[in-house]
Structure 1
Amino acid sequence: MAGAAKTDDKTVKTGRILLIITTIIAVAAIGYSIARSTGLFDSKPEPAAVTAPPKTPEEAIAQLEARLKTNPEDAQGWQMLGWAFFETGRFAEAATAYKRAIQLQPDNDEFLSAYGEAVTLAGDGMSVPADAAAAFRKALIKNPDNPRARYFVAVAKDIAGDHKGAIDDWFQLLEVTPAGAPWEENVRAAIRNVGEKNKIDVATRLASLKPLPAAPGVPAVATAGIPGPTPQEMRAAGSLPKGQQDAMIEGMIASLEAKLKANPNNADGWIMLMRSRTSLGEGSKAATAYQSALKAFASDAMQKARITASAKELGVPGA
């Protein structure tokens, strides 16, 4: 009996951490298409040394690695490589790249929190590893407002059994989150999921929470995702040749599509896919994503209405 109880507890913990992390992965990092649509990359000339653009994300990664062999002190390059590995599901390699970036800029809280996230996702799905937790703590020392670090510190509390403490931490994060911030809806989802699983009433607190006004430049909720690349990461992408930019963008979108095919019950992911395709001027592909989303939520009137409203906001054909 004792052994069975232990197994059950392990299963519950596994389900809890995977539930939270899956929410993150499913809608992660299509921000490069947003940056591309705003012209962020347009002012960057293509280096003469690059003769042919990569055809796949793997080729783009290889070119990044080659550049870093030539210039191993490029902290932003290591950050970009970490992001590229992360978005192709190679979390351990992402952690290695982020660790190198941290060695070059040890006080950079974004590098630290990204490293902690990659280490966590590379782990067994049942814990926030000690070195990841240390990175999150250091990130918060450098910047107490780092949302990724705050989020995962609360995840660690939940896994340790302090469900109320985790929920309180997430509420505190929401209290300083501008409306429409990329992580807002997913923090709310974490609160709801952990509250429901542990019979903690969160509905009243969520309903009474008054979000801050939207920050300048923050996209509408319909276009948001968590955690996504940071502004620093998007600026770092501007140093890539255009062919690498295009290949990485398409690779990330393809990765999101694959995740949605495997798990279509993800409204935020479908909205992100619609936005990405719209940002690239691919109206027909955005419309296909819209119809797939409606099919996935055929029996959920609330989510269907939300998806349709988002599609109309984005100008998706047929919405």
Structure 2
Amino acid sequence: MFWIICAALAGMVTVAIAAPLLRRQGDEAEPAAAYDLRVYRDQLREVGRDLERGVIDQTDAERLRVEIGRKVLAADRALQRAVSGQRSPGGWVALVALALLLVGAFFLYQRLGQPDRPDAPIAQRIADAQALYDSRPTQTEAEARAPHPERPEPDAEYTALIDQLREVVQKNPNDPRGLELLAEHEERLGNLVAAKDAQRRLVALRGDQASAEDLARLAGLTIEAAGGLITSDGEKAVAEALARDPRNPQARFMVGLLHLQNGRPDRAFPIWAGLLAEGPESAPWIAPIRAAISDLAWLAGQPDYTPPEPSTLPGPDADAIAAAQDLPPEERQKMIEGMVKGLESRLATQGGTPEEWARLISSLPVIGQQDHAKAVLGEARQRFSGNQPALDLIEAAAKQAGLE
């Protein structure tokens, strides 16, 4: 069926392109011989009228008819040649080039495509994705295969300092600050395995006091040490970071990446779409998400998805409200109220992103409008009904503002 459809489409395209190339020359404009023929016939009729009026005699009329008749015959032969089906030589050249392109495309697909690949129902694709997930290499295997790009030679003084740091940590392995510095500088030197090991020891040392950021950093270093592959060790660190903070954006980004690596764009898309809606645009994970989200949406069966535009409109963000703290109380209240009302007015008239609605919901209680914030929350829920990533962001802002 695939080849039948391809052949039918190729045939229709070929006909559509070839038809104008092979059009008769006479189809473009009327041949000059046709115009001459009409003139000569008019002249013959004029000779007959002159004879009837007595302007010329019978002898002159016969002579003129013979002379004009010869011209009529010559013009008629020229007209027949013009419409006899002669083709433009350029048309045949273009047709040959078109045929070569079609044949070349066929052989290129035979070489680079997969014409013998069978159809893959969704159940089979999910099973293949699970098999890919189950067959991941171990962390040790992935680290052994990971590329090691060349880096500029570090400064000798800096290298000596790092050697001293390693010695200090070795003598005092329970110093969290030393382990933290060691993980940071080993990563800077490109020693990703050593950086991962230092971060792992730091997390183990802190135990239950380890933060979601500590665990997300361990997950990131584990993945980098494995050459970007998320092994079971990396997945475990990501899961532990999310257990500490289910909203941790770095860990959520890595969960989406895990699904992508194992052939599940349908699972990765809602996670990355939610992160893109939340922002901020300066976050390090936003750029790779924005670059891939359109293709990811198509692969996930969401071809109508439109990524949110980067937010450049003014609004009362946390930095602006913090800056207002230095003003006298009266001026500070007026400034914050003005920013909040400006944002609300713009969202009411122009609309906005889920991030901006969340900002408004979290800002209204700051100026003492708790009840109004609940009303805005209800409107936001209705506006973004069906958009789960946006609703997650709205609900997080409501929780932070103490509305639930």
Confirm or deny a common fold (TM above 0.5): no
State the structure with more CA Rg.
2
